Amino acid sequence: MSETTIVSSLTKFVDALPIPPKLEPVKKDNTYTYYEVTMKETKQSLHRDLPSTTVWGYEGIFPGPTIEVDCGEKVFIKWMNALPKRHLLPVDFTVHGAHKDVPEVRTVVHVHGAVVEPDSDGYPDSWFSANFEQVGPTFTQKIYRYDNYMNSCTLWYHDHALGITRLNIYAGLAGMYIVRSDFERSLKLPSSAYDFPLIIQDRSFRPDGSLYYPTQPDEPVSGLKTSVVPEFFGNTILVNGKVWPYLVVEPRKYRFRVVNASNSRFYRIKLDSGQLMYQIGTDRGLMDRPIGIRSITLAPAERADLIIDFTNLEGESIIMTNDAPAPFPKGDKGNEIVEVMKFFVELPLRHIDTSVIPAYMENLSRLRTHDATKKRFLTLDHTMDRFGREMMLLDNKDWDAPISEKPVLGSTEIWYLVNTTEDTHPIHIHLVDFQILGRREYDVERFNRERVIEYRGDPFPPEPQECGRKDTVRANPGEVTKIIMKFGPFTGLYVWHCHMLEHEDYEMMRPYMVIK
């Protein structure tokens, strides 16, 4: 990455935090709600001192409009592609699903965390090009159906097209999908003007304002004009589409739904005031009870529902900081970014703050290990491709290998994620939510030699911040991560994958099938 091609510094905290608008339905009655969403190229100002940036956005905005639904609401969405034929960013045509025999720009939308039938899940091969001129081999329908069976939770929607997901999301194709419920309303959490998303992403820019994404790894691959990179770390942090924004707040409680929508970067978030944040939710909904935390780690695709209390802090300013190494957890020098955004407690209190941090919230039913009818040991591996590039795999299989995971509808399984690599990988399983049972260190060298798991020391429980419904789990190097889940309520073809987009796009994704 040559220093002359990218903007090396931008002034922090000079742009106000944007709040993505709520998506308005085309039709809504007592039986169902219908939305239409078109992906468009547009120009948007991402920082005061940068020329406008060409981005791709749902409904032509980056990040996309927030979709707000109620539990049990029947929602139909027609996702449409009106993007240019040429990609905004460098495509590697050697990557699975991105060869020259398919349109260069393909899209398919996955609502991350939604419980939907396979045909509405955004399977990576169900892509469609502009105006549905061409479609992928598993494409079946233009309109997706979401029954929103879930509890209240914070989901997000994003692109999932095979082989170019990293580029489509980097170009801007991501937004929030929030599920509300009457039960949640009864809790009197901070709401409406005091409840919003914080979509955290990293980006780099050229002096003309355009998005910078590398065409080659640091050590270029000979013989290739463009190559996928092992991971990507931008040099600025954006929240809701602005570089290092600020938010002016009242001295009261706010609810922030934080999603790490970055390609590869992890965050370990703190407030420089040292004050506690109250975590009320994990990936898939509210926790049993709130926990007070001073820092929270979020891998790509992980969410945290946080309450921050600015009461009695009139006149103060508070910086949300980050000290996660990149790559995580080992880190390379120069990749870290220590600031995320800033809060100014400068607005007068408009009303008495009657919102509460409840003592108890959901009563989470725990899945029981003795109900599990199947245990699967699945490795996270690294290998070399024919160009000498590092490539990450799941279970030592590539995307095209025959389906090996076929859980039975309604059955409970325990998956042991055996990470043999040096990175933490956020593993996401479509359709289901799961609970983390724990992690345990093991002898990686012996495993690589003999394929035998020799544990080192006792298992340790999930972190308090992970005790709830999850759909993405950090599988750390040198550890076996144990998760439990029940497969259903649908059968059919889904995927599980690493959510570092550079890994997902290059073979660290596998199909799985729920069978009768």
**CA nearest 451: which of 509, 378, 383, 401?**
378
CA-to-CA separations, 438 to 242, 291, 293, 497, in angstroms, rounded: 37, 19, 20, 20
Give the number of other Cβ atoms within 10 Å of residue 218's Cβ.
9
- Among left, alpha and beta (phi > 0; psi -120 to 50; other), residue 59 is left
Q: Are 126 and 116 in contact (CB under 8 A)?
A: no
Pick between residue 425 and residue 474 the one whose CB is nearest to Cu ion: 425
Does 176 contact Cu ion by CB under 5 A?
no
Q: Which residues contact 338 (CB under 8 A, 6 or more apart)?
A: 321, 322, 323
Structure tokens at 225: 């004009």
**CA nearest 479: which of 503, 462, 466, 464?**
462
Query: Minimum distance from CB of 261 to Cu ion (Å)?
Result: 16
Pick between residue 61 and residue 391 the one whose CB is nearest to Cu ion: 391
Out of 500, 501, 509, 514, name the contact with Cu ion by CB under 5 A: 500
Pairing of strands 412-419, 479-486: antiparallel
Q: Which residue's beta carbon is nearest to the bound Cu ion?
A: 498
Pick between residue 47 and residue 503 the one whose CB is nearest to Cu ion: 503
Query: Minimum distance from CB of 421 to Cu ion (Å)?
Result: 8
Does 166 contact Cu ion by CB under 5 A?
no
Pick between residue 62 and residue 266 the one whose CB is nearest to Cu ion: 266
**CA nearest 125: which of 94, 160, 83, 168?**
160
Query: Minimum distance from CB of 54 to Cu ion (Å)?
Result: 28
Pick between residue 95 and residue 498 the one whose CB is nearest to Cu ion: 498
Pick between residue 168 and residue 424 the one whose CB is nearest to Cu ion: 424
First to last CA, the chain: 50
From 177-185, 399-407, 410-418, 502-510, span contacting Cu ion (CB under 5 A): 502-510
Distance separating alpha carbons of residues 398 and 185, to the nearest angstrom: 45
Pick between residue 253 and residue 425 the one whose CB is nearest to Cu ion: 425
Query: Minimum distance from CB of 92 to Cu ion (Å)?
Result: 17
Structure tokens at 503: 């890994």
Query: Minimum distance from CB of 325 to Cu ion (Å)?
Result: 15
Site string for Cu ion, 105-144 (x = CB under 5 A): ----------------------------------------
Q: Which residues pair with 177 in a beta bridge?
A: 67, 155
Number of residues near Cu ion (by CB under 5 A): 4
Pick between residue 393 and residue 467 the one whose CB is nearest to Cu ion: 393
From 63-71, 228-236, 457-465, 499-507, span contacting Cu ion (CB under 5 A): 499-507
Query: Minimum distance from CB of 477 to Cu ion (Å)?
Result: 11
Out of 47, 270, 503, 510, name the contact with Cu ion by CB under 5 A: 503
From 85-93, 191-199, 475-483, 491-499, span contacting Cu ion (CB under 5 A): 491-499
Pick between residue 187 and residue 500 the one whose CB is nearest to Cu ion: 500
Query: Minimum distance from CB of 509 to Cu ion (Å)?
Result: 10
Distance separating alpha carbons of residues 256 and 308, to the nearest angstrom: 8
Out of 270, 342, 425, 510, name the contact with Cu ion by CB under 5 A: 425
Q: Which residues pair with 270 in a beta bridge?
A: 321
Out of 341, 467, 480, 498, name the contact with Cu ion by CB under 5 A: 498
Give the number of other Cβ atoms within 10 Å of residue 67's Cβ.
25
From 107-115, 145-153, 158-166, 501-509, span contacting Cu ion (CB under 5 A): 501-509
Distance separating alpha carbons of residues 286 and 186, to the nearest angstrom: 13
Does 417 contact Cu ion by CB under 5 A?
no
DSSP 389-411: -EEEEETTB-TTSPP---PBTT-
Structure tokens at 88: 């905004």
* HEC secondary structure over 108-146: CEEEECCCCCHHHCCCCCCCECHHHCCECCCCCCCEEEE
From 129-137, 408-416, 435-443, 496-504, span contacting Cu ion (CB under 5 A): 496-504
Q: Are 41 and 56 in contact (CB under 8 A)?
A: yes
From 3-11, 237-245, 347-355, 492-500, span contacting Cu ion (CB under 5 A): 492-500
Q: Which residues pair with 376 in a beta bridge?
A: 415
Query: Minimum distance from CB of 498 to Cu ion (Å)?
Result: 3
Pick between residue 268 and residue 289 the one whose CB is nearest to Cu ion: 268
From 125-133, 260-268, 321-329, 419-427, span contacting Cu ion (CB under 5 A): 419-427
Q: Which residues contact 4 (CB under 8 A, 6 or more apart)?
A: none
Cα dihedral 57/58/62/67 (nearest 10) = -170
Q: What is the b/e burial string over 187-209, where b = at least 16 CB atoms within 10 angstroms of the residue's CB?
A: bebbeeebbbbbbbbbbbbeeeb
For Cu ion, the binding residues (CB under 5 A) are: 425, 498, 500, 503
